């Protein structure tokens, strides 16, 4: 419940902003981050282009493979034609062989004598010889056709296989190059993250150094351990962890039991930045003491200070009451450096 109330307080009073030029270390790291990220984007674009090229070549490989399948089908058809040609050639060879064997043995010469003795048969003989010449010519043409077809088929098959081999080699090279690019991108990413982590660490260290300098340089810090108490009374709840019915809770300040209407005084000079009702704390006043330090006064009965008032140390700002969630008069008091609660008893003068 108390943490919820303080969340409202944090929203209500102003936060300090730091405006300063980036130091050389930050600028240098920032430039390295930008350079690495620029190189990363450039290599990422190359990797994307490489992937697209791989996709295009893979499409071409698919087309070449289909073309090879078509050529293989054509080759199978051509082989059938070649078998037919071989059968025809074999028949022609058999005829020519028988004819030439007959001529060689002289059997045809007897026929020739008979044909020439009867001139009416000479036309038939000439026709037979002419037919043999045509068969021989057809035989020669078929052999030439077969040789040319085989040569074309072998040339096409070799060309396609070479294209396919070249494409597959190109894809393999692209995959190897892509793997190198991917490793480079991973390295660049790690390098960028390393620079960013170093920059974040440096910024956190600088911020902490700045906080420490502000903490000790604020004028109120010089009064630490000697600040006056906001009200005279008995501390009924100290700063830090406490238990209610066995449940651990945390107090960001101290609760001081006092007489109702007792004067509540500012512990140090400053400016009133908040006067209003807050759940749990009831009527509450917050004073900005500069340097990031704020004091908080709750459970007030009557408030005499107004937002914007300049307050001096020990000046009356309100009266003790029991507004909020308390059942008897008391003052809830907190001291904060920015958003971090401080133990008030370490700052107030010993009683």
pLDDT of 210 higher than 70: no
Same domain, 113 and 164: yes
Do the Cβ atoms of 232 and 220 come closer than 8 Å? no
Residues 152-184: tens digit of each pLDDT: 777 777 777 777 787 777 778 777 777 777 777
Strand partners, 81: none
Look-up of token digits 């991917």: 182
Domain that holds residue 289: 222-346
Do the Cβ atoms of 296 and 253 come closer than 8 Å? yes
pTM comes to 0.45
Residues 6+ away with beta carbon under 8 Å from 186 = none
Over the chain, what is the mean pLDDT?
A: 76
Q: Which of 55-64, 71-80, 256-265 has the highest mean pLDDT?
A: 256-265
Which pLDDT score, from 0 to 100, does residue 101 have?
64
Same domain, 204 and 257: no
pLDDT band with cut points at 50, 70 and 90 for residue 78:
low
pLDDT of 319 higher than 90: yes
15 domain-assigned: no
Same domain, 196 and 249: no
Q: Which of 141-145, 157-161, 196-200, 318-322 has the highest mean pLDDT?
A: 318-322
217 domain-assigned: no
Q: What CA–CA distance (Å, rounded) separates 349 from 351?
A: 6
12 domain-assigned: no
Q: CA of 38: how far to CAs of 42, 185, 189, 262, 295, in Å?
A: 6, 11, 11, 66, 48
Looking up residue 202, the CATH number of its domain turns out to be 1.10.287
Residues 6+ away with beta carbon under 8 Å from 281 = 5, 296, 298, 299, 323, 324, 332
Q: Which residue has the higher pLDDT, 93 or 330?
A: 330
pLDDT band with cut points at 50, 70 and 90 for residue 123:
low
CA 80 to chain centre: 59
Same domain, 147 and 275: no
Same domain, 103 and 157: yes
Same domain, 179 and 255: no
167 domain-assigned: yes
pLDDT band with cut points at 50, 70 and 90 for residue 315:
very high
pLDDT band with cut points at 50, 70 and 90 for residue 231:
very high
Helices (H) and strands (E) in the chain, counts: 4, 12
Same domain, 284 and 335: yes
pLDDT band with cut points at 50, 70 and 90 for residue 54:
confident
CB atoms within 10 A of CB 8: 15
Q: DSSP state, 324? A: S
Strand partners, 334: 296
66 domain-assigned: yes
How confident is the model over 54-71, as a mean pLDDT? Answer: 75
Q: DSSP state, 314? A: T
């Amino acid at each position: 419940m108390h943490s919820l109330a303080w969340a409202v307080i944090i929203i209500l009073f102003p936060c300090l902003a730091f405006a300063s030029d980036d130091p050389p270390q930050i600028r240098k790291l920032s430039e390295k981050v930008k350079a690495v990220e620029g190189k990363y984007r450039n290599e990422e674009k190359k990797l994307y282009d490489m992937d697209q090229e791989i996709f295009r070549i893979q499409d071409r490989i698919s087309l070449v493979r289909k073309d090879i399948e078509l050529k293989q089908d054509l080759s199978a058809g051509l082989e059938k034609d070649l078998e037919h040609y071989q059968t025809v050639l074999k028949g022609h060879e058999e005829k020519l062989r028988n004819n030439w064997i007959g001529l060689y043995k002289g059997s045809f010469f007897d026929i020739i004598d008979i044909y020439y003795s009867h001139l009416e048969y000479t036309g038939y003989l000439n026709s037979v010889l002419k037919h043999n010449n045509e068969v021989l010519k057809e035989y020669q043409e078929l052999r030439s056709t077969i040789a040319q077809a085989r040569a074309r088929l072998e040339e096409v098959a070799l060309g396609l296989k070479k294209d396919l081999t070249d494409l597959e080699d190109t894809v393999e090279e692209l995959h190897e190059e892509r793997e190198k690019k991917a490793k480079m991108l991973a390295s660049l990413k790690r390098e960028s993250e390393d620079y960013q982590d170093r920059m974040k660490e440096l910024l956190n260290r600088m911020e902490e150094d700045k906080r420490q300098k502000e903490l000790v340089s604020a004028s109120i810090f010089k009064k630490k351990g000697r600040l006056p108490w906001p009200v005279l009374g008995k501390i009924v709840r100290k700063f830090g962890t406490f238990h209610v019915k066995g449940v651990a809770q945390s107090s960001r300040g101290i609760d001081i039991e006092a007489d109702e209407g007792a004067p509540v005084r500012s512990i140090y000079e400053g400016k009133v930045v908040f006067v209003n009702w807050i759940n749990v704390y009831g009527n509450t006043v917050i004073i900005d003491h500069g340097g990031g330090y704020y004091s908080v006064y709750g459970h007030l009965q009557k408030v005499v200070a107004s937002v914007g008032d300049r307050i001096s140390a020990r000046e009356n700002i309100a009266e003790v009451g029991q507004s909020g969630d308390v059942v008897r008069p008391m003052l809830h008091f907190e001291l904060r450096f920015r958003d971090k609660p401080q133990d008030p008893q370490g700052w107030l003068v010993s009683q």
